[in-house]
Amino acid sequence: MYKILKKQKWSDTIFSNWVEAPFVAKAAQPGQFIILITKENGERIPLTIADSNPQEGWVQIVYQVVGASTLELSSMNEGENLYAFVGPLGMPSEVENFGGKVLIIGGGIGIAPIHPIAKKLKELGNHVISIIGARTKDLIIMEDKMKEASNELLIATDDGTYGQKGFVTNIMDDILKKESEAIKDIWAIGPPIMMKMCTRVANEHNKQIWVSLNSIMVDGTGMCGACRVSVGGKTKFACVDGPEFRGNLVNFEEMVLRQRQYCDQEREALVLLEEQIRRKASNG
């Protein structure tokens, strides 16, 4: 079970795995996530679903190596089995045919989870305008799939190596200045700072916006409350009430502080794992 069917390296730190998980693939809807565990002593890693295929029984995930657990995941090969893979978790995106245009914004590896939402919105008959962005050209992922899932695709890079130079928010602002009325809803997924800035732009234009919060989680089914976030002054659990919330109501400052909760421990674990990998390499 949970075999890695295919694995691709998209940049120095970005990888994508296709995992055999027929029950998850069958039930998955846009906006939902999975939790996986690499090995018996691993932690539960939440990752939003990038794509899934109920007929073929696989789920695609995209991840960036940021710590010990993602490093471990990236070191596993095609044909190996993950220890656990559970889902789909969380509430699906509230997609429908809005009878107009929708704006989709994906930043960095946030492009991966925004993909199924764009795809579904287009299928439902919306006119999908997508903006994807990253620091530099090499970090723009899933461009072809996003092109397929959108009616219009716009690209921004911070350094101008691809598409428009600047941030996704610049393009977002331009579009809203031009046709705010026509845009029926907005989704933005990416680093917290990007989602916060997108929310600011949306607020300036009096628009509602959905963001997807990747809070720290343990069980991912509403049992522990590790992922609590303040939304409209109320405490919500990202795992069962979300992961998508109206960005206009999210307390991003608190969310960012909570995400840094285990920085010291994460560093310690990464140093240990890197040493183990080095030792293995020099022995083998």
Partner 1 sequence: MAEKLKPAEKLKKNRVSMRTQEPLERIQNFLEVPLGYSLAEAIEEAQRCLQCNPAYCVAGCPADVRIPQFIEKIIEEDIKGAFLEIKQTNALPAVCGRVCPQEEQCEGACIMNKKGKPIAIGRLERYVADWARQLDYSDAKKPSSKLGKKVAIVGSGPAGLACASDLAKLGYDVTIYEALHKPGGVLVYGIPEFRLPKSIVEYEVGQIKELGVEINLNYVVGLTKTVDELIQEYDAVFLANGAGAPSFLNIPGENLNGVYSASEFLTRSNLMKAYEFPNYATPIRVGQKAVVVGGGNVAMDAVRTAKRLGAKEATIVYRRSRKEMPARAEEIEHAEEEGIKFELLTNPVKILGDEYGNVVGIECVKMELGEPDESGRRRPKVVEGSNFVIDVDTVIIAIGQSANPIVARSATGVEINKWGYFVADEDGKTTHPKVWAGGDIVTGAATVILAVGAGKKAAKSIHETLSIKQ
Residue ranges that bind partner 1, judged by CB under 8 A: 23-24, 27, 37, 41-44, 68-69, 72, 83-89, 218-219, 221-226, 228-230, 235, 240, 254, 257-258, 260-262, 265-266, 268-269, 272
Q: How far is the CB of 266 from partner 1 (least distance, A)?
A: 7
- Residue nearer to partner 1 on the CB measure, 138 or 266: 266
Q: How far is Cα 278 from Cα 81, in angstroms, rounded to an integer?
A: 23
Q: Which is nearer to partner 1, 5 or 269 (CB)?
A: 269
Q: CB burial class (10 A; 0-12, 13-18, 19+) of residue 211?
A: buried
Query: Which residue intervals of the chain are DSSP H helices?
Result: 22-27, 68-74, 111-123, 143-149, 168-179, 192-204, 252-259, 263-283
> Considering beta carbons, is residue 23 or 98 the nearer one to partner 1?
23
Q: Got the DSSP string for 7-64?
A: EEE-SSSEEEEEEE-HHHHHH--TT-EEEEESSTTPPPEEEE--EEETTTTEEEEEEE
Instruction: Please state the closest distance from residue 230 (CB atom) to partner 1, in A.
Output: 6
User: CB 252 → partner 1: shortest distance, Å?
Assistant: 12
Nearer Cβ to partner 1, position 60 or 169? Answer: 60
Coil/strand/helix, residue 131: strand
Other C-beta atoms lying within 10 Å of the C-beta of residue 13: 15
Nearer to partner 1, 167 or 245 (CB): 245
Give the nearest distance from C-beta 267 to partner 1 in angstroms. 10
Positive or negative, the Cα torsion across 189, 195, 190, 134?
positive
Strand partners, 128: 102
Query: Minimum distance between the CB of residue 160 and partner 1, rounded to whole angstroms?
Result: 35
147 or 260: CB nearest partner 1 = 260
Q: How far is the CB of 258 from partner 1 (least distance, A)?
A: 6
Counts of helices then strands in the chain (DSSP H, E):
8, 16
